[in-house]
Structure formats: structure tokens, C-alpha cells
Amino acid sequence: MAKNVMKIPARVNPQTAVPIDAQVKRKVAGYARVSTDHDEQLTSYEAQLDYYTTLIKGHDDWEFAGMYSDEGVTGTSTKKREGFQSMVSDALAGKIDLIITKSVSRFARNTVDSLSTIRQLKEHGTEVYFEKENIWTFDSKGELLITIMSSLAQEESRSISENVTWGHRKRMADGKVSVAYSNFLGYDKGENGNLVVNREQAKVVKLIYGEFIAGLSCHAIAEKLTKMGIKTPRGKDVWSQTTVRAILTNEKYKGDALLQKTYTPDFLTKKQVTNHGEVPQYYVTSNHEAIIEPEIFDRVQDMMKQRGYRGGYSGITIFSSKIVCGQCGGWYGSKVWHSTDKYRRVIWQCNAKFRDKKHCRTPHLTEDEIKAAFVRVMGKLTTDRAMILEELREDQAMLTGTEELEKEQKRLAEQMNVDADAVQEAIAENARVAQNQEEYSIRYEALSARFQETKDKYDAVTAEITQRGIRRREFGRFIHSLEALPEMVTEFSEELWGSLIDRVTVHSKDNIVFTLTSGMEIRA
């Protein structure tokens, strides 16, 4: 018998699993996006919304499933596009059969994002139509065309990003400063685009610097500003020590500007990272009116380093991490007596006083007693001012010189280069010539250890040079402050306390030794 082959026609759409002859309306949604908030872009955005809404509702076999959109966001990544993410979620949930959008570049400028999303939608029976390119993703040639068009869109985005980056860096090289004024405390944008002092906000900036010099830590300053009801640069009610530290280390407050502190290495993620020398930086001096005098700003930077070197710095109040027990060497801390009645007062005593049976016998001090002792010390300073200034200048020259250290630093730097070259030569030789790997490992470890030893010495010398530089500047500031002291100091001054006193060592009520920032000791 002859074979007879009978064709059974397909009845179900393989992509949508819907019967071919079924009169089912496709659920169709539109997607629109513009990447900036310029007026002409907003007009385009509104036109897209209106166009696709009318288009979808004009088809009898289509059911309008909604309009999804993103306004003023980039197309290089789909992660921050809420409208796009919502549309994909609804499609995966079966609420959308077809998505219509203007072009591949409107959908995504990132090839990986574009393809992965389209494949995910395709697996769940949702098709995408790109009107400009006339591409249907269920078409057999659709993915190839989308790959090509997405790559072109991504390359266009890269080109745009490079042009924008070049423009930014050209402005920086020309010394043009730009900041996020809405989040920048103390300055407004002037008519010429440069920074103009906001007098009211400048008072807060000066308060922060003044409190830090007086002895408060960044954390304590943050708490104080929060209690005072002062808004943060972002308009928040609660300050953080990170925000305070950022203000204390921002060179713009002394009238200068360091440009390109951060940069964007990847135009797709657009994530900014700290510039550690990967791209050029530009430092502009005297760019705008300063809120903080350069000398005060530099002094704050030195104080930050000093507190970091000291370790365990508290700074809850101006007396924190300043008063030392003469018996055990521990810090004095504040205690509140009679906290709930009219006899309430704050006293300072050794934190280890009642920690064990051998508690310290150094006395407690009231804040009034500390202030009175400070005034007596200031009296001695003004009385013997001429003699003290002469001694200070001699000490400054003797204790802060770095000439010999700088010679040693240079020698160690040269030795480090020699040691580093030896390590590299050993690696290159091992790659070029076959040799006993056990012997090579021993040699390599010895060379590496020699390099590290030299580097450790170099780092130690560099740190000492830095420390002496700080000490030299502290001497200079102390001498200046001492010269500027009035003939008589009759009352306590937070500013003088912060600028002149390094620590106070308590031995007894009658033996309180003040160590000045110059290193000089005076018994009160």
C-alpha cells in the first residue's frame, strides 16, 4: 500500500500558547522614556505618552494594558528605572502580551540588559515591538537585529558619556568650580555661576569649626547641632559625624577648590568612585570668598591628624580627653551629682577611681575649679610672656627640624627603588629561565622581605616628618596666640582653652599641671 501523509495544521501560537483561531484581544502596553528634564525632552515625553495611548486604543484587537514611563533617567541601566521594572513585573505576571516602544535605544542602551530582558519576556509569552526599527521580538530575525541595534545604542551612549566627561574635565582644567548648591552648606550660586557666601548658613559653618577647635569631636558637634534644631545641608533634622567631618575637611570653606575628587570609570553603571590618582585633579586657590580663614582651616586638619595619632579621643565636651589622672594616667570623666534636685552639679574625676580596690586617690574637680585653674595659668603666661616666647622659638627650631629626616627619607626612597627592581628582575628571570622553584621561592621571599623592611623604615620616617610639620605649625600658632593675648585674662575662654591647652594632669587640688600645645608645662 502507498503511504499517505496528512498534514494537521497548528492550532496554538507557540509563543503565546493561545489558540490561533481564538478571538482573544492582546493586552498591549506602551513604554516611553526621556533621559533629561530639559523642556524639549519633556515635550517629547508627553508626546510619546499621548501617541501610544491613542495608538493602542485605536486597535479593535488590542486591549489597553497601561502606559509605563520613566522621566529624567538614564537608559544605560534598567536598575533605577521604576516604570520599566514595573512593566516587566506586570508582563511576567501575565498582565501584558505586547509592549510597544519607540526604539531600541528608548528600551535600553545596555546590550546585556536589553537582550536579557527581551529573552525573559519572550519566555513568558510577552512580545516587544520597536516601532522605529520595525522589529518584532517573536520574529526569527528579531534577536539578531536587536543585538546589533542595542550595541549601536550602547556605543552611542559611550560616545555621549565621553563627550560629557571631556566637557566636565575641560571646565575643571579651566578652573571652573561647580557644586551641588542644594546640598552645600554656606554657599549659594552667584550670578556668574561661582560660589557666593550665604551669611546665615555661614554662621553654622563657623560654629562647627569653632566647636572642633574648642575640643569637641565630630560626634559631639553633630549631637549639639541636632539639639539646636539646625538643619543639615540636605535639610534633615539629625546630623551625623560624617556630615560634620565632611564640612571640616572641605577646602572650599577656605576659598579654594579641589576639582575631580571623584570620577566615573564605567559609563554603564555611572557609579562614582574616589579619585586616588587615576585621573587628573585640579586645585584652584582663591576661587571665591572664604568662610573660614585658611590658617584656621589648616589648623583643623592638623588637629584631626593629632587626635587620630593620640587614639581614644572622646571630645564629648571641651574637657573630654583633656584631663589626665596623675596617679594612674587614665582620663578624667564627667559625673553628675544630685541630678534630680537643686544641688545638681557636674564634676570630673578619674574614670578608674572606683574600678577596683586600689582606686586612685586623685581628687575630683568641678568645672568652675578647672576654669579657675586655667585663668591662673593664663595669668602666668601673660606675666612671663617675653621669656616664654624666647624659649618657644628656641624649642621650635630644635624640636621640629626635618632636614636630616628628609635626607634619610630620600636615601630610603632610592633604596626602595633598588629593592623593587631586584624583585621584578627575579620574577622576570624566573619566567624566562627554567630554575629550581624552591630556590627561587627562598630568593624571592628574601628580596621581598628586604623591600618591605626598607618600606617600613621609609613610612616611619615619613610619618615623623609629618608629625614634626604639625608640631612646627602648632608652635607657630601658639606663639601667635600668646603674642595676641591681652594684658590680663580674667575669665575662661573656650577658644583659648582649645587652642592653647593640650592636656591637664591632676595630682592634687594644689598640684594641677597644664601642658600647653607647645609642650611647655605650667603648674596652676
Domain with 288 in it: what CATH number?
Answer: 3.90.1750.20
CATH of the domain at 122: 3.40.50.1390
Cα 176 from Cα 171, distance rounded (Å): 5
Q: For residue 484, what is its C-alpha cell?
A: 595676641
Domain count, the chain: 3
> Is there a single domain that holds both residue 246 and residue 386?
no
For residue 354, being part of any structural domain is answered with: no
Q: Which amino acid belongs to residue 254?
A: K
For the stretch 480-511, pLDDT in tens is: 878 888 888 888 988 788 878 888 999 999 99
276 and 378 in a single domain? The answer is: no
Q: Same structural domain for residues 241 and 298? A: yes
Strands in 311-381 per DSSP E: 323-325, 332-337, 345-350, 365-366
Q: Is the pLDDT of residue 478 over 90?
A: no
For the record, the C-alpha cell of 524 comes out as: 596652676
168 pLDDT exceeds 70?
no
Asked whether residue 349 is domain-assigned, the answer is no
Q: What are phi and psi of 494, to 5 degrees?
A: -60, -35
Whether residue 137 has pLDDT greater than 60: yes
Instruction: Using the 3D structure, point to which of 290, 310, 330 is the last residue of a domain.
Output: 310
Indicate if 84 and 52 belong to the same structural domain. Answer: yes
Domain end residue (candidates: 98, 130, 161) = 161
Same domain, 129 and 198: no
- The angle subtended at Cα 131 by Cα 48 and Cα 135, nearest 5°, is 150
Residue 285, classified by CB atoms within 10 Å of its CB into exposed (0-12), middle (13-18) or buried (19+), is exposed
C-alpha grid cell, residue 18: 493561545
Residue 337 is assigned to a structural domain of this protein:
no
Asked if residue 449 has pLDDT above 80, the reply is yes
- The predicted pLDDT at position 100 comes to 92
Q: Which three cell numbers stand for residue 413?
A: 626612597
Residue 254 CA from chain centroid, whole number: 19
Gap between the Cα atoms of 435 and 442, Å rounded: 12
Asked if residue 185 has pLDDT above 80, the reply is yes
Confidence at residue 279, expressed as pLDDT on a 0 to 100 scale: 67
Indicate the average pLDDT of the chain.
81
Instruction: Cell numbers for 139, please give them.
Output: 520574529
User: Would you say residue 356 lies in a domain?
Assistant: no
Q: Are 133 and 204 members of one domain? A: no
State pLDDT tens for residues 209-241: 988 888 888 988 999 999 999 999 989 999 999
Cα angle 242-243-246, degrees, rounded to a multiple of 5 = 85
Specify if 453 maps to a domain. Answer: yes
Instruction: Judge if 157 and 207 occupy the same domain.
Output: no
Tell me the pLDDT tens digit for each residue of 83-92: 888 999 999 9
Q: How confident is the model at residue 82 (pLDDT cuts 50, 70, 90)?
A: confident
Predicted confidence (pLDDT) at residue 75 exceeds the cutoff of 50: no
Q: Which domain holds residue 52?
A: 26-161
% pLDDT > 90, the chain: 28
Q: Does the pLDDT value for residue 469 go beyond 90?
A: no
Confidence of residue 277 (pLDDT cuts 50, 70, 90): low
- State the cell numbers at 359: 582606686
- Max mean pLDDT range (20-24, 201-205, 208-212, 335-339): 201-205
Res 37 pLDDT > 60 = no
Residues 203, 136 share a domain:
no
Q: In the chain, what percentage of residues exceed pLDDT 70?
A: 80
Give 337's strand partners.
Answer: 345
Residue 283 and residue 216 in one domain: yes
Condensed to tens digits (0 to 9), the pLDDT of residues 94-129 reads 999 999 988 877 776 566 677 778 888 888 889 989
Residue 339 in any domain: the answer is: no
In the chain, the amino acid numbered 159 is S
* DSSP H helices in 433-514: 437-484, 494-500
The answer to whether the CB of 324 falls within 8 A of the CB of 331 is yes
Least confident span in 157-171, 197-211, 302-316, 404-418 = 157-171
Task: Please tell me what DSSP assigns to residue 251.
Answer: G
**Same domain for 190 and 115:** no
Q: Report the C-alpha gap between 501 and 376 in whole angstroms.
A: 13
Side-chain half-sphere exposure of 151, counting CA atoms within 13 A: 6
Which of the listed residues 112, 131, 161 is the one where a domain comes to its end? 161
Q: What is the pLDDT of residue 155?
A: 64
Q: Is pLDDT of 352 > 70?
A: yes
On the question of pLDDT at 389 being above 90, the answer is: no
Q: What is the identity of the amino acid at 403? A: E
**pLDDT for 152:** 63
For residues 279-297, average pLDDT: 83
Distances (CA, A) of 25 to 15, 55, 102, 191, 426: 15, 15, 22, 58, 74
Indicate if the pLDDT at residue 265 is higher than 70.
no
Mean pLDDT of 372-385: 89
The torsion of the CA quartet 98, 99, 105, 106, rounded to 10 degrees, works out to: 170
User: With 90 as the cut, is the pLDDT of residue 412 above it?
Assistant: yes
Q: What is the distance between the alpha carbons of residues 15 and 8, in angstroms, rounded to a whole number?
A: 19
| Residues 106/68, Cβ–Cβ less than 8 Å | no
Q: How far apart are CA 30 and CA 48, in angstroms?
A: 9
Cβ-based neighbours of 10, under 8 Å, separated by 6 or more? 20
Is 268 contained in some domain? yes
Residues 6+ apart with CB under 8 A from 79: none
Are both 392 and 268 inside the same structural domain? no
> What span, in angstroms and rounded, lies between the C-alpha atoms of 316 and 248?
17
Block residue for cell numbers 568641678: 366
Indicate yes or no: pTM above 0.85. Answer: no
212/271 same-domain check:
yes
Of 115, 122, 121, residue with least CA distance to 148 = 115
Res 98: pLDDT: 93
Of the candidates 70, 129, 65, 64, which has an alpha carbon nearest to the alpha carbon of residue 103?
129
Cell numbers at 351, concatenated? 574614670
Please check the confidence at residue 76 and state whether its pLDDT lies above 50.
no
Residue 385 lies inside a defined structural domain of this protein = yes
